[in-house]
């Protein structure tokens, strides 16, 4: 048995010797092939100059600083139909603190139908608020919370008369319930005039000096601040213009100017309502004075052509006259023959929008103003006692 095993081993060794290999030998792994790639330095982007990087970083720092300073002043507003279980989404919006007494500015349409109002601050704390007063014509309202004054961070109101097209603006609010959202854009228009209450066909009054912006404003932003690069509030985000049914942002938003807030909010806090100056005249068309002058051969292309004088109103008592005949302008009937207002207190009047803006900013109910007007190419003057806009 041992002899057979020895013979088998010897036979195996002999067989291996014949094949030229040693038993138990393994194949040596081959090294991987290395492919060298030479990069062309000229094909890589050239690093930006340090000055550009510093400028970009400075803008980021500015925006971060603005948000950290102003966001604690911005609140989320929810309303209910009587109890916390009756949450009503139609009343959600934004607002901002204006003093340490607990007064908060928002849009009137956010809170006008509310039975109960809940305010959520940036730190997550919640307080119930009372409605102090609302003004549908400006779409501004004031609510008040009763909390520790140390928790209130009032904003600084800027001068909206100094706002220029092209300047950078920031909107902070709660679109779609997303608290503390910041969007950036520019002022894309100033001096716009919007219907005081676009949902009320019987309300023909206008809100002047509206600021237009391309900063994204969506449902839930209503009532939030529009601020400048100094962190000052220059407007209250109020409305968006869109062709869609969901009122999503389409690039054109509007804000009530801060100077209107300065005029209106003190009245709301004091009396709960606002008294607007009123002349008691109406226009019946959307044509400019230049268009009317060319079509009707008027003596001036600037001013306000009175179509209707409200009976018993301030203009009627001052002796101003409306149109007395119908004329066709571009296929539309207009009332012609009325007086043309060209100045108030020696301040030239170029258009109806400019006249309304002047009256709102510079006159009060009961104030006597001098009205300069044209009647049959004759320049006349009359004293007019400013009335109060009917509600």
Question: Could you give the residue numbers annotated as active site?
Answer: 109, 139, 222
Conformational region of residue 338, where left means phi above 0, alpha means psi within -120 to 50, and beta covers everything else: beta
Whether residue 366 contacts residue 278, with contact meaning beta carbons closer than 8 Å, is answered with no
Whether residue 349 contacts residue 298, with contact meaning beta carbons closer than 8 Å, is answered with no
- What is the torsional sign of CA 324, 325, 326, 329? negative
Interacting residues of 61 by C-beta distance below 8 A, sequence separation 6+ = none
Tokens of 61: 């720092």
Interacting residues of 17 by C-beta distance below 8 A, sequence separation 6+ = none
The DSSP symbol for 319 reads T
DSSP code string of 94-117: EEEE-STT-EEEEEHHHHTT-SEE
DSSP code string of 191-227: EEEEES-TT-TT---EEEEEEEE-S---TT-TT-EEE
Taking Cα atoms as reference points, which of 102, 331, 326, 91 lies closest to residue 222? 91
- What's the gap between Cα 224 and its chain centre? 8
Range list of β-strands (E), 220-349: 225-227, 232-240, 253-257, 277-278, 281-282, 304-305, 308-309, 325-329, 332-336, 340-344, 347-348
Residue 157's alpha-carbon distances to 45, 110, 151, 257, in angstroms, are 45, 21, 19, 10
Which spans in 71-163 are helix H?
108-111
Taking Cα atoms as reference points, which of 301, 200, 185 lies closest to residue 250? 185
């Amino acid at each position: 048995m041992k002899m057979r095993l020895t013979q088998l081993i010897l036979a195996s060794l002999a067989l291996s010797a014949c094949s030229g290999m040693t038993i138990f030998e393994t194949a040596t792994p081959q090294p991987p092939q290395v492919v060298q790639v030479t990069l062309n330095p000229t094909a890589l982007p050239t690093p930006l100059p340090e000055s550009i990087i510093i400028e970009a970083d400075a803008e980021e720092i500015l925006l971060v600083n603005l948000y950290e300073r102003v966001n604690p002043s911005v609140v989320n507003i929810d309303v209910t139909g009587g109890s916390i279980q009756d949450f009503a989404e139609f009343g959600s919006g934004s607002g901002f603190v204006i003093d340490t007494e607990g007064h908060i500015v928002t849009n009137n349409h956010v809170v006008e139908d509310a039975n109960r109002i809940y305010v959520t601050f940036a730190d997550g704390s919640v307080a119930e608020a009372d409605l102090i007063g609302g003004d549908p014509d400006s779409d501004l309202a004031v609510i008040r919370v009763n909390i520790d004054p140390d928790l209130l961070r009032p904003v600084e109101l800027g001068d909206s008369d100094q706002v220029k097209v092209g300047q950078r603006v920031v909107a902070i609010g709660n679109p779609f319930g997303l608290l503390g959202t910041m969007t950036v854009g520019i002022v894309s228009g100033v001096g716009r005039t919007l219907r005081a209450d676009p949902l009320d066909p019987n309300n023909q009054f206008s809100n002047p000096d509206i600021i237009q912006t391309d900063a994204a404003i969506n449902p839930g932003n209503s009532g939030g601040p529009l601020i400048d690069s100094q962190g000052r509030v220059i407007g209250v985000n109020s409305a968006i213009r869109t062709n869609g049914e969901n009122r999503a942002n389409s690039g054109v938003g509007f804000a009530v100017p801060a100077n209107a807030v300065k005029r209106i909010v003190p009245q709301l806090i004091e009396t709960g309502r606002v008294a607007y100056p009123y002349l008691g005249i109406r226009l019946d068309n959307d044509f400019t004075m230049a268009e009317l002058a060319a079509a009707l051969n008027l003596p001036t292309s600037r001013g306000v052509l009175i179509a209707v004088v409200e009976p018993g109103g301030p203009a009627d008592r001052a002796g101003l006259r409306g149109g007395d005949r119908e004329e066709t302008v571009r296929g539309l009937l207009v009332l012609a023959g009325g007086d043309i207002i060209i100045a108030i207190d020696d301040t030239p009047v170029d258009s109806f929008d400019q006249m309304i803006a002047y009256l709102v900013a510079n006159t009060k109910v009961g104030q006597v103003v001098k009205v300069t007007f044209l009647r049959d190419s004759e320049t006349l003057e009359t004293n007019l006692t400013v009335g109060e806009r009917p509600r």
